[in-house]
Every structure is written in structure tokens, then in C-alpha cells.
């Protein structure tokens, strides 16, 4: 043997004891460390180490062998963590993987949960969702937790036990299981429901986020903008183990601008994906009075004509509920049917203007449940109308030389009608007239005259013209007193001397000739050129109407109407000189 050739040295008990401790303790670990050298078998290594430690402790060669085989730092490496467990956060229902990898493993490995040992088996009894995955030969001991729940929220420790010269090592990691809120609601209201509230009335909206871990935050929105103006109170309560409910009360005082406005409470929580917010929304329906009514379709002071269709539109904007609109005429209700579109109310009253509508007062009232008194607007309308007829009263027979009294009365007219007399073909200018207010609206004109029956006449025809000069309308009544008469001179209406006609406007001139046997033939001339006219024949009168589109050639032009029949030697005529505004 190698060691028998060495000289014996004096034994040093201290050195021998050190060698014995170095060789004897954890010899297996040293052998595994040095076995790749293939220098000795296990038996040779053990026998050589022990023999040399006892026999030649002080020898130079012994020291060399001690340095090679017996020094603990050279023969073994301590076990340590290659991958240390670290804190982990997972969503409830997801899978959690707690990693633990050991280098130079010597001791047994197990996991603990909050100090409770889970054992050394890959399948952990009593914890069906727990399992240890990895490769024990490679020192991989990962703890997998499937379908993580709140009960898994704990502090875990990967433990490697002591073995021979290796001390135990441990590493902690905290598993945090987060859970989104179970639901969100604005208490007392379904999502997207309407909340009815009076203007300037206090309103509290209570938002609840239930059973979140950790506690969720609440963000309020007005429309699409975060709302930070109202007074709010937030409170968090632990409703069950490790689960929290957040409550937020928003106090507001809505006004009319909040009508149709949406208020939303939204959850803010790390377990919620940002593209799928959890929220609850209500829409406010704020009750407030309507705006004042206004009228369209007629302007105060506008002139209407009888027979004209009038559409009075009363509108009111704003108000919740929308305004109720009612039309009144001279204090009497005439129409209460109205329609609404959003916050606009509308009541349309359509009628045909009559004489009774002249100076009538129309009133529209707007109100709703929030109105203390109705809001109103009023208009007075003016209707122009010519008399519908004139009537002549007086004797129907007279002798030559008799003085015949005659009276002509018009139907109501606005403005008052003017009466013109034609007696025996002559216009009478000395008749008396007076005007009376009609109870039906407008005025009644009454004219009286007396005429003497002349000889050589078969009958006396008396004509009364009722003329509304502003409307160019003329009504005629004829009375025959048993004598003959020649055609009367024509009368032109529709134009007043000095009246200015705008260029481009339409002007109508009416020429009327009454009486005559036969009836007169009427002919219109512009200067000396004949003008076509529309001829209308009544019982004992004839009229010719022309329509002029005023232009520069009509300025100072003479329009002449000639009346003639077989009883006249020369035509009777009436003329008018027009003034056209260029």
C-alpha cells in the first residue's frame, strides 16, 4: 500500500481529530463530489481517508491528501435556490404557478401555505386544485393552483430541508387573488332608466359595487365627462372574507340644463379590462316650466283680406313635460289640440278670415304641471273686406217731374265703403252719406238722394255702387223707376288718382257702365291703342276689367274706358292717368 511506505510520524491528537471529523461527516457528499475523478473507489476513499487521518496526520503527503479529499469546501457545495419564489397576483378563476427551483439539492422539498405544510407528494391530499409540477432530478418544484379562489390568497413558502452538511433553506412568496365586483347598480334604478325630479330639488344617487377584491373605486360621469362638482360620500365595507363593497352617494341639485342628461357610475378595478367597463347609467327627466309662447304665421299690424286662409302657429320651447297650448278668440277657447316633438310644443289654428275676425283678439296660453300661472301671448288681427252687397230702397214707379227719394245701404265693410250714385245715366255728387259701426264688424255706409223724373223717358234706372277703394272691389245694386235711360258714363275703379304703382306689380282696372238699352259696349284704350279686356255682363250693367303688369310705358299713360250703345251718338268715357314708380 502507498501509505505503508511513508515514515511514521508522531501522532497529533488535535490534527487527527480534525481529520476524523472532516473525513467522517458527510463522506457520501464528498464522494459524490469527487467521484468523477475516478481516482478511488468508495471503499478505497473511505479507508484511505480514515487511515491517513489517524496514522500520518503530520506528514507532508498526509497534508496533501487532506487538502484533496478531506477539506469540506472542496468536496461539497451548499444547496441553494436557482429560482426563488416571488409574489404573484392572479385573477380569480385563473391558474397560479408559484415557481421554486433548487440547485445542489440535498434535502427534501415541500410547500407551506400560511405555515401549513402541504407535504412532499406531487398530488397534495385535501387540496385537489394544488399540484407540484417539475423535474425532481433538476430540482424543479413549481406549485400549480388551478381555478384560483379567494381561499388561495395566502403566503406560501418553498422549504428545502437539511441534509448532512447542508442546512435548510426557505423562500416566501405571497399569492394575491383579485376578484372584480360582482355587480354594479345605482340603487333603486335599473340600468338606463329615467329618474324624474323637479327643478332645483335635491337628488341623491347611490352607486354600489359589490364583492370586489381588493375594494373597487367608483368614478362618476355626467354625459361622457368625469363629474367632480357634486357633493359625494364614499364608503367601503368588508361584506365577506377578503371581499369588499364600495358605496358612493352623489348629491346634486338638477336644473333645466340637466334634462335628458345621463349620470353614470363606473367601476375602477385592476381585475376589469379597460375596454369593457362596468357601469350603470340613469337619465334625468327634470320637471321645469315651459318657455313663453310665441306666434308665427301672422305679424301684429299685418292686413288680412276676407276669404284669406290664415294659419296661426303658437309654439313654446322647453318645459318638462312639454307645454300644453290653448288658443282663445276674444276670451273664448277655440282650439286646445297641440302636438309635441322633444321639448317643443305646437298648436296650429287655421281659419278663413271673415268680417267677424276684424279686430278680434287671439290669445295663446302655455302651461304645464310646473307652471304657477299660464304664460300667454296675444295678437289683434285686422281684416279688410268690401261690402258683400248694396241695397237700394225707394219707389218703383214715378211720373215725369216727380221727386223720387232713394236710399242706398252697404253691407259691412272695412274700411268703410264709398257710395256712388248713378241716376238716369248721370253720376250724382250731391248725395248725403253717413257711416255707422256694424255689430258684425266694420262699418255700414248709408246714402240718400232725391231725383226728379224727366219727361221722354221710359224708365229711370238708379244705380248704387259700393266701393272699397283700398281693395278695388265694387258691388252694385240697380233700382228701376219705370222710365227709359241711356247708357251711363263708365266708372273706373281699382286706381285712385295720385296713387303710385310699383314697377313690376300687377294692377287691375275695372270699368263699369250701368243701364242703357241695350247694355253698353265697353272698350279699353291705352292712349290710342285698344286693350283687350274681360267683359262681364250683369242684369243691368256691364263691366270690363283689364290686368296691367306695370312697366315704364305705363307711367303717365292714359287708360280710357269708352261706353257706347245704339242710343249714343258718341261714346261715353272715363279715363285714368297712371303713375308708375320706376
What is the pTM assigned to this prediction? Answer: 0.54
β-bridge pairing 403-410 and 390-393? antiparallel
Q: How far apart are CA 74 and CA 452, in angstroms?
A: 165
The angle formed by the CA atoms of residues 312, 316 and 319, to the nearest 5 degrees, is: 160
Mean pLDDT of 558-582: 88
Evaluate whether 321 touches 343 at the Cβ level (below 8 Å): no
DSSP label of 163 = B
Confidence band for 42, pLDDT divided at 50, 70 and 90: very low
| Per-residue pLDDT at 28 | 42
The whole-number pLDDT of residue 48 equals: 41
DSSP 3-state assignment of 245? strand
CA distance 201 to 291: 20
The region of weakest confidence among 267-271, 406-410, 427-431 is 427-431
Query: What is the pLDDT at residue 298?
Result: 92
The region of weakest confidence among 40-49, 136-145, 154-163, 290-299 is: 40-49
Instruction: Please compute the mean of the pLDDT values over residues 521-542 and round it to a whole number.
Output: 92
- DSSP H or E segment with residue 53: helix 42-55
The total of other beta-carbon atoms located within 10 Å of residue 442's CB is 28
Question: Which of 45-59, 73-87, 218-232 is predicted most confidently?
Answer: 218-232
Cα(562)–Cα(570) distance, integer angstroms: 9
pLDDT digits (tens, 9 = 90+) for 153-205: 999 999 999 998 899 999 999 999 999 999 999 999 999 999 999 999 999 99
Predicted confidence (pLDDT) per residue in 243-259, tens digit: 999 999 999 999 999 99
Kindly report which listed range (200-204, 208-212, 358-362, 452-456) carries the lowest average pLDDT score.
452-456
**What are the tens digits of pLDDT across the range 300-322?**
889 899 889 999 999 999 999 99
Q: Can you give the pLDDT at residue 512?
A: 95
Confidence category of residue 13, pLDDT binned at 50, 70, 90 = very low
- pLDDT of 435 strictly over 50: yes
Residues contacting residue 237 through CB under 8 Å, at least 6 positions apart? 244, 245, 247
**How confident is the model at residue 255, as a pLDDT?**
92
pLDDT number for residue 204: 94
Residue-wise pLDDT tens digits, 343-378: 899 999 999 998 889 989 999 999 999 999 999 999
Element (H, E) at 254: none
> What's the whole-number mean pLDDT along residues 82-107?
94
Closest to 114 (Cα-Cα) out of 151, 149, 143: 151
**Alpha carbons 226 and 218: distance in angstroms, whole number:** 11
**pLDDT digit string, tens, across residues 82-92:** 999 999 999 99
Nearest to 94 by CA among 131, 149, 151: 149
Sheet arrangement for strand 169-178: 88-91, 169-178, 154-160, 109-113, 116-117
The DSSP element (H or E) to which 75 belongs, if any, is: helix 72-75
Q: Note the pLDDT of residue 400.
A: 60
Residue 567: what pLDDT? 66
Per the document, the length of the chain is: 582
What mean pLDDT do residues 377-393 have?
92
Lowest-confidence range among 50-64, 340-354, 556-570? 50-64
Rg (CA), the chain: 60
In the prediction, which pLDDT does 228 show? 87
Listed residue (221, 195, 183, 199) closest to 287, CA to CA:
199
| CB-CB contact of 424 with 461 (8 Å) | yes
- What's residue 18's pLDDT? 39
167-193 burial code (b ≥16 CB/10 A, e <16): eebebebebbbbbbbeebebeebeeee
Q: What pLDDT score was predicted for residue 76?
A: 55
Higher pLDDT, 488 or 63: 488
Question: Quick one: pLDDT at residue 454?
Answer: 80
Per-residue pLDDT, 483: 64
* pLDDT at residue 100 greater than cutoff 50: yes
Q: What pLDDT shows up at residue 485?
A: 54
Q: Output the pLDDT for position 486.
A: 66
Instruction: Mark 122-143 as b/e (b = at least 16 C-beta within 10 Å).
Output: eebeebeebebebeeeebbbbb
The C-alpha angle with vertex 137 and arms to 133 and 138, in degrees rounded to 5, equals: 75
Lay out the sheet containing 572-577: strands in order across: 529-531, 521-526, 558-564, 572-577
Return d(Cα 449, Cα 433) in angstroms, integer: 9
Mean pLDDT of 567-581: 88
What pLDDT shows up at residue 245? 95
pLDDT beyond 60 at 38? no
Do residues 514 and 540 lie in contact, with contact meaning Cβ atoms separated by under 8 Å? Answer: yes
Amino acid at each position: 500500500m502507498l501509505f505503508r511506505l511513508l515514515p511514521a510520524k508522531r501522532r497529533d491528537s488535535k490534527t487527527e481529530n480534525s481529520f476524523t471529523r472532516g473525513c467522517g461527516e458527510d463522506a457520501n457528499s464528498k464522494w459524490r463530489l469527487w467521484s468523477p475523478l475516478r481516482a478511488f473507489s468508495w471503499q478505497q476513499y473511505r479507508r484511505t481517508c480514515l487511515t491517513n487521518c489517524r496514522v500520518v496526520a503530520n506528514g507532508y503527503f498526509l497534508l496533501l491528501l487532506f487538502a484533496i479529499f478531506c477539506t469540506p469546501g472542496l468536496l461539497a457545495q451548499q444547496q441553494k435556490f436557482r429560482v426563488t419564489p416571488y409574489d404573484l397576483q392572479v385573477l380569480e378563476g385563473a391558474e397560479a404557478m408559484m415557481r421554486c427551483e433548487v440547485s445542489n439539492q440535498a434535502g427534501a422539498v415541500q410547500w407551506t401555505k400560511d405555515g401549513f405544510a402541504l407535504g412532499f407528494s406531487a398530488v397534495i391530499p385535501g387540496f385537489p386544485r394544488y399540484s407540484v409540477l417539475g423535474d425532481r432530478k433538476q430540482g424543479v418544484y413549481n406549485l400549480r393552483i388551478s381555478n384560483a379562489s379567494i381561499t388561495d390568497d395566502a403566503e406560501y413558502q418553498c422549504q428545502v430541508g437539511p441534509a448532512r452538511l447542508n442546512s435548510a433553506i426557505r423562500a416566501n412568496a405571497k399569492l394575491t387573488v383579485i376578484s372584480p365586483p360582482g355587480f354594479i347598480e345605482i340603487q333603486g334604478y335599473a340600468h338606463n332608466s329615467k329618474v324624474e325630479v323637479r327643478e332645483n330639488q335635491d337628488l341623491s344617487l347611490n352607486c354600489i359595487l359589490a364583492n370586489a377584491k381588493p375594494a373597487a373605486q367608483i368614478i362618476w360621469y355626467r354625459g361622457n365627462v368625469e363629474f367632480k362638482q357634486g357633493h359625494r360620500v364614499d364608503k367601503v365595507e368588508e361584506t365577506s372574507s377578503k371581499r369588499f363593497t364600495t358605496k358612493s352617494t352623489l348629491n346634486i341639485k338638477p336644473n333645466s340644463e340637466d334634462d335628458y342628461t345621463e349620470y353614470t357610475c363606473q367601476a375602477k378595478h385592476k381585475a376589469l379590462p379597460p375596454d369593457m367597463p362596468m357601469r350603470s347609467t340613469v337619465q334625468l327627466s327634470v320637471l321645469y316650466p315651459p318657455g313663453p309662447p310665441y306666434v308665427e304665421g301672422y305679424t301684429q299690424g299685418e292686413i288680412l283680406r276676407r276669404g284669406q286662409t290664415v294659419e296661426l302657429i303658437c309654439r313654446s320651447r322647453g318645459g318638462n313635460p312639454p307645454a300644453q297650448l290653448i288658443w282663445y278668440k276674444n276670451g273664448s277657447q277655440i282650439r286646445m289640440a297641440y302636438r309635441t316633438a322633444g321639448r317643443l310644443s305646437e298648436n296650429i289654428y287655421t281659419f278663413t278670415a271673415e268680417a267677424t275676425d276684424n279686430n278680434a283678439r287671439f290669445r295663446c296660453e302655455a302651461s304645464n304641471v310646473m307652471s304657477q300661472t299660464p304664460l300667454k301671448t296675444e295678437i289683434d288681427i285686422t281684416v279688410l273686406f268690401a261690402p258683400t252687397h248694396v241695397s237700394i230702397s225707394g219707389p218703383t214707379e214715378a211720373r215725369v217731374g216727380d221727386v223720387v227719394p232713394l236710399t242706398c245701404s252697404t253691407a259691412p265693410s272695412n274700411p268703410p265703403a264709398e257710395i256712388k250714385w248713378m241716376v238716369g245715366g248721370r253720376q250724382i255728387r250731391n248725395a248725403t252719406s253717413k257711416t255707422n259701426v256694424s255689430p258684425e264688424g266694420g262699418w255700414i255706409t248709408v246714402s240718400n238722394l232725391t231725383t226728379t223724373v224727366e219727361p221722354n223717358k221710359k224708365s229711370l234706372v238708379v244705380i248704387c255702387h259700393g266701393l272699397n277703394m283700398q281693395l278695388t272691389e265694387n258691388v252694385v245694386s240697380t233700382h228701376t223707376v219705370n222710365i227709359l235711360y241711356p247708357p251711363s258714363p263708365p266708372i273706373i275703379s281699382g286706381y285712385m288718382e295720385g296713387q303710385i304703382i310699383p314697377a313690376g306689380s300687377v294692377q287691375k282696372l275695372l270699368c263699369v257702365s250701368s243701364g242703357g238699352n241695350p247694355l253698353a259696349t265697353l272698350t279699353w284704350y291705352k292712349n290710342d291703342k285698344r286693350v283687350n279686356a274681360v267683359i262681364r255682363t250683369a242684369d243691368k250693367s256691364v263691366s270690363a276689367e283689364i290686368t296691367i303688369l306695370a312697366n315704364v310705358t305705363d307711367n303717365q299713360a292714359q287708360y280710357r274706358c269708352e261706353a257706347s250703345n245704339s242710343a249714343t251718338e258718341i261714346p261715353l268715357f272715363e279715363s285714368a292717368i297712371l303713375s308708375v314708380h320706376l
